[in-house]
Chain A
């Protein structure tokens, strides 16, 4: 879920940003509690997680560099990478913290993050920036920096994936990339967004090894030209399984050792239980609730240690996976609801202990995020299509509400079969104002996946990974290849291929706008540019795909994704059952509104000439606020259920689909459209001059498929109807942010109505919606930038008015009220 390294990549959730970890509304100063958490253990663990400062651990890099120095060239690449994984699992510093029940850290302690120099090697300067910047700081020990400079950097210089990619890319790609026309995900991190299905709870590593052996034994070295490659790949997977088992066994040894000297009898028992769990999983399939969570956690750690894939790793339908264990143990009395909740809380905190690996080339401004975008799917449908909500779903919602930590992200999946009770329980968490859970529509995304060629059952077992992108869990590599700045495509079109911000060519010359006298000429030029840009991007994406397939295979990840074992191919090399590449188009609202303004005021209304318009854009409307205001207030914009604007939005959306969908990728499958933006709309806005919809230079473009900021002035029902006109099943995800004042969510009755609003959006084909319950910070922002918050409607019984229209005293009053109403 990245943007590129020079973007302020904060989180999926606008307004409430990545640093918004912590406790917003509850004040614990007067209570005995040290913070949120169901009991003292959880409170202490959460506090430690919350207060631990992210740091860099160079241990993985040292092990890896030494291993490469010693072994590079001795083995096939998959086998060497697997052996290196095993080597690290054998040597890595372990951590079992006080109070912990679920164990294992990627680094030597909570929030210690390894580096991945084979992909991208941090320089000493990078470390210094990380160590000192104000936002999203990562502590780096001075001694470690010296060691890194001596041991790690010299070996990797010129060998990293990133350097090799940048040495390769053609000029046209570089120009467009530098202008901010698109980003590239895989230049810093491995392809990720991987989400697991239920097989981990039925099979242990020993079972996977048996499967591997079966497939190895049946290789046909006479007739299958790939048999040797497959044999190497399978061998690598087998070694990787051993890595995970060794890692767990070492935890068992450590727990036993700690138990031997533990004075507290209760803790001693817990440590022995931890040892027992780690002796059993991941080697074998879990036997109970505790083991099931620990099983997933070991696999999670394995995959994020092997490589630094985007969106870390996701358990998928975690509630559904744990439900059979929960129900069995609750029935036989071996587990209480509180014990289950405690284990789930421990798991949640474990995920929070794992900030995203920081990128290179960072500056203080380009801060990145701690969020590694693990997303837990709650509710939804089961593979047979029935309702997936269980008591565990409710229990997890309670954990989310109680802990409110940054990670893991969470989402609720509301199909037509989901009971209202679950929807309302989720809406109550939404009301808290943390921006989550986000809400998804399985009925819609199952259709999207089937549309892209998945079987119905695999689609139902799917859901969303990090943000809003969907995939078939446990069976698909769905690669987000980067964001496309669609308004920027229009901007360079209007400037004959030139990027007016950077002053360099960024695309191709599609003609002089001054010669266009009807909208179709403009639109045709825009499409020509769009296709050129998409082709430029795809060429490099395909190159990067092959680079990962050949040089950075992921044997451990391949073990847990169908059908890598059966095919004898790596996760990055077409091993999964489904292999999708997405391009995420950002700024549908901004580009639609800009095209609309050009059509209305230049090409049809003749209110402004091309020269007047192009000059106004070049000078950021300076000196012509009247023109800008006229455009802002007198143009039909997307998001108001305005037929003219919406028809144009649908046309743009359909053409994005045509430009991307079906282009072949390197794994015999194809590229698809996605409408995800994460926070890339902020970066894309920064590199964009003024746009014809009245948006000033550097301001954000619209996010996902949401209307432009403030463009929707007809309320939420009009917004959902506009979005409902897009055939959302054509993309692998759309995104809608809706802003709500807390006063709209005060009573339980209001919660019900929010649920009905969600259901009515989903009934017309909505994929996703999330709610920003506006806090006072947002209202202050609205005072400063009124035009971006034109949609902010203050409603109280018998009264409603736009926030912007109120004078400053009254605005202050609303701000005070909001503060009080935020629970």
Chain B
């Protein structure tokens, strides 16, 4: 069965050991307010429009079978009620101002892309990282892909929010060499406020996974005003320290440039709410983890 992919990034150097190729699967059960890749959330194909690339040629307006597009002084405007996301506009757009996010691909398609990278992956002891969105949302595709990678001896990393069925997650764990496991906040209310879901399942799955002997790096996006406070970090450290195995932490300091993609999806983005953490704060967080014997690094 095919998967829905929204991006493939070779020369990924922040998503696990060595040089990797990262596949981004579309669809996510969380809806984080700060999401840097908002096109990852919807499990459907979406239309993205980059206004500054539009030269106003009107090709898309002519092509649209639903008459959903209008050329205005402010670029192309789409009527969401009429648009059926057929993608014809993107096919004719000469500047790629309109692009469809999300395409169907089979495991074979992906393996062909990945095999091209073999030399670099081998040279660097790298591999493939499957990220999202939440790759577990397409668990059948994910498992098939992981098996195919396993057959060719490729190192496999799965980047997950943990918001998924425990049973499926353990099934995936059998064919995964390393998990990058996102942990946004320890207080479930706060978690719910910013991501749309509580964290109970996520914490439970993290524990299950750790007990299963899976190799895990916990990733924490550091966002001022959300989760950088001493209390949350302390709670996170305590939780992680209690888990079996040696779990390291990667800190991903929030940055403000997420706005770009929200604009493309013609979405509102309330970035004012969040602040980038200062280096001193990050260092304080690293120190807090160290108190529990946990190694925390900046970046992935």
Chain A interface (Cβ within 8 Å of chain B)? 625-627, 629-630, 633-634, 641, 714-718, 720-721, 744, 746-747, 749-750, 752-753, 756-757, 759-760, 763-764, 794-801, 804-807, 810, 813-814
Contact B95 A633 (CB under 8 A): yes
A388 to chain B, nearest CB (A): 22
Contact A797 B259 (CB under 8 A): no
Please, could you name 11 A-B residue pairs with CB atoms under 8 Å apart, sorted by A? A627-B94, A633-B96, A717-B10, A717-B21, A756-B124, A759-B123, A764-B119, A797-B253, A805-B264, A810-B257, A813-B257
Contact A757 B11 (CB under 8 A): yes
Contact A626 B11 (CB under 8 A): no
On chain A, the residues within 8 Å of B260 by CB distance are 801, 805-807, 810
Contact B123 A795 (CB under 8 A): no
Contact A807 B52 (CB under 8 A): yes
Q: In the complex where A799-B257, A806-B260 touch, is A760 in contact with B124 (Cβ < 8 A)?
A: yes
On chain B, the residues within 8 Å of A747 by CB distance are 299
Contact B257 A796 (CB under 8 A): yes
B130 to chain A, nearest CB (A): 15
Chain B interface (Cβ within 8 Å of chain A)? 9-11, 13-14, 18-19, 21, 36-37, 50, 52-53, 55, 57, 59, 94-96, 116-117, 119-120, 122-124, 126, 221, 252-253, 255-261, 263-264, 299-300
Beyond A795-B14, A800-B9, 10 extra complex contacts between A and B, CB < 8 Å:
A634-B94, A717-B19, A720-B120, A753-B19, A756-B18, A798-B14, A798-B36, A799-B36, A806-B257, A814-B257
Which of A627, A629, A714, A746 has most chain B Cβ within 10 Å? A629
On chain B, the residues within 8 Å of A744 by CB distance are 13
Name A813's contact: one of B55, B117, B252, B256 (CB within 8 Å): B256
Whose C-beta in chain B lies nearest to the C-beta of A633? B96
In the complex, A717→B19 CA distance in Å? 10
Name B221's contact: one of A720, A798, A810 (CB within 8 Å): A798
A449 to chain B, nearest CB (A): 25
Which of B37, B257, B263 has most chain A Cβ within 10 Å? B257
Contact B11 A715 (CB under 8 A): yes
B28 to chain A, nearest CB (A): 13
B50 to chain A, nearest CB (A): 5
Contact B14 A756 (CB under 8 A): no
Contact A750 B13 (CB under 8 A): yes
On chain B, the residues within 8 Å of A796 by CB distance are 255, 257
Contact A760 B256 (CB under 8 A): no
On chain A, the residues within 8 Å of B255 by CB distance are 796, 799
Contact B120 A717 (CB under 8 A): yes
Name A763's contact: one of B52, B55, B123 (CB within 8 Å): B123
On chain B, the residues within 8 Å of A763 by CB distance are 119, 123
Contact B252 A798 (CB under 8 A): yes
Whose C-beta in chain A lies nearest to the C-beta of B22? A800
Name A633's contact: one of B36, B94, B257 (CB within 8 Å): B94
B47 to chain A, nearest CB (A): 15
B123 to chain A, nearest CB (A): 4
Q: In the complex where A753-B124, A763-B123 touch, is A626 in contact with B299 (Cβ < 8 A)?
A: no
On chain A, the residues within 8 Å of B126 by CB distance are 756
In the complex, A798→B159 CA distance in Å? 11
Whose C-beta in chain A lies nearest to the C-beta of B118? A760
On chain B, the residues within 8 Å of A630 by CB distance are 94
Contact B10 A797 (CB under 8 A): no
Contact A756 B37 (CB under 8 A): no
B7 to chain A, nearest CB (A): 8
Which of B11, B95, B256 has most chain A Cβ within 10 Å? B11
On chain A, the residues within 8 Å of B299 by CB distance are 746-747, 797
Contact A757 B36 (CB under 8 A): no
Name B261's contact: one of A749, A764, A801 (CB within 8 Å): A801
In the complex, A243→B94 CA distance in Å? 67
Contact B10 A798 (CB under 8 A): no
In the complex, A750→B55 CA distance in Å? 38
In the complex, A715→B52 CA distance in Å? 23
In the complex, A652→B102 CA distance in Å? 36
Contact A760 B55 (CB under 8 A): no
Q: In the complex where A633-B96, A760-B124 touch, is A626 in contact with B59 (Cβ < 8 A)?
A: yes
Contact B94 A717 (CB under 8 A): no
On chain B, the residues within 8 Å of A753 by CB distance are 13, 18-19, 124
On chain B, the residues within 8 Å of A749 by CB distance are 13
B2 to chain A, nearest CB (A): 22
Q: In the complex where A760-B119, A763-B123, A799-B255 touch, is A626 in contact with B55 (Cβ < 8 A)?
A: yes
In the complex, A694→B261 CA distance in Å? 27
Contact B94 A629 (CB under 8 A): yes
A715 to chain B, nearest CB (A): 5
Q: In the complex where A757-B120, A764-B119, A806-B260 touch, is A797 in contact with B53 (Cβ < 8 A)?
A: no
In the complex, A798→B34 CA distance in Å? 11
Contact B37 A799 (CB under 8 A): yes
Whose C-beta in chain A lies nearest to the C-beta of B17? A749
B3 to chain A, nearest CB (A): 20
In the complex, A801→B94 CA distance in Å? 19
On chain B, the residues within 8 Å of A715 by CB distance are 9-11
